[in-house]
Amino acid sequence: MLYYWLHIIYIFICSKLFWDKVDATSTISRTRRVSILDCDSLRFMANSRYLYYMDLIRFEITFRSKLYENTIKKGMFGVLGSQKIIYKKPLKRWSKFKISLVLEGWDDKWVYHSQIFEQNNEICAVGYTKAAFWKNKKVQDIKKILSDSGVPDTERKVPEAIQNIFKDDYDLLKIDLI
């Protein structure tokens, strides 16, 4: 967990001092290397590490855009409503990969992203997230946040295929699993 927070601090400092600002709707990419600490069996990247890298790139877009000033600085914090990941090909130890964050769209509460893991121009995994900003025990209006952050679009429809990924989430919470 310490490594996670050090990485977040690194992203914050670099976003403020060294990296160019980006628009909140920009697609951003980062090249990473699978370290030995990322691997379960010391051979392939563990499934939990994909989610870790997905977190980091979402923080990067927040810090590099005006989202930070219009959310975290105002006492809001990001929450994930749901995330899904589809694995196609494992990432081997010591190999480089690229993760890209693509804003797919938003509705009144949620913003939807695709996060694509690529290696040698081949997709290895794709993660989808549904995220919001939370303050005073309620979800904030994402359209206002994006507008305040300089996004000129008032609307970007979420593709139906991505909406369908998340449509039964709350029904699953009602299932008695025990």
Percentage of residues of the chain with pLDDT beyond 70: 98
Dihedrals φ, ψ of 63, to 5°? -70, -35
Query: Exposed e or buried b for every residue in 87-102, given b needs 16+ CB within 10 A?
Result: eeebbebeeebebbbb
* pLDDT at residue 66 in the model: 94
Can you tell me the distance from the alpha carbon of 149 to that of 142, in angstroms, rounded to the nearest whole number? 10
Residue 177's pLDDT is 60
The reply to whether 41 falls in a domain is yes
Is 23 contained in some domain?
yes
Please give the residue range of the domain that contains residue 73: 2-173
In a domain, 178, yes or no: no
Residue 162: inside a domain:
yes
**Total tally of structural domains belonging to the chain:** 1
Is residue 168 a part of any domain in this protein? yes
CATH number, domain of 156, equals 3.10.129.10
Q: What is the CA radius of gyration of the chain?
A: 17
Residues of the chain short of pLDDT 50, as ranges, are: none
Give Cβ neighbours of residue 119 (< 8 Å, ≥ 6 apart): 89, 91, 95, 96, 97, 98
Assigned domain for 146 exists: yes
pLDDT at 152: 85
Say if 143 falls within a structural domain: yes
What's the pLDDT score for residue 178? Answer: 59
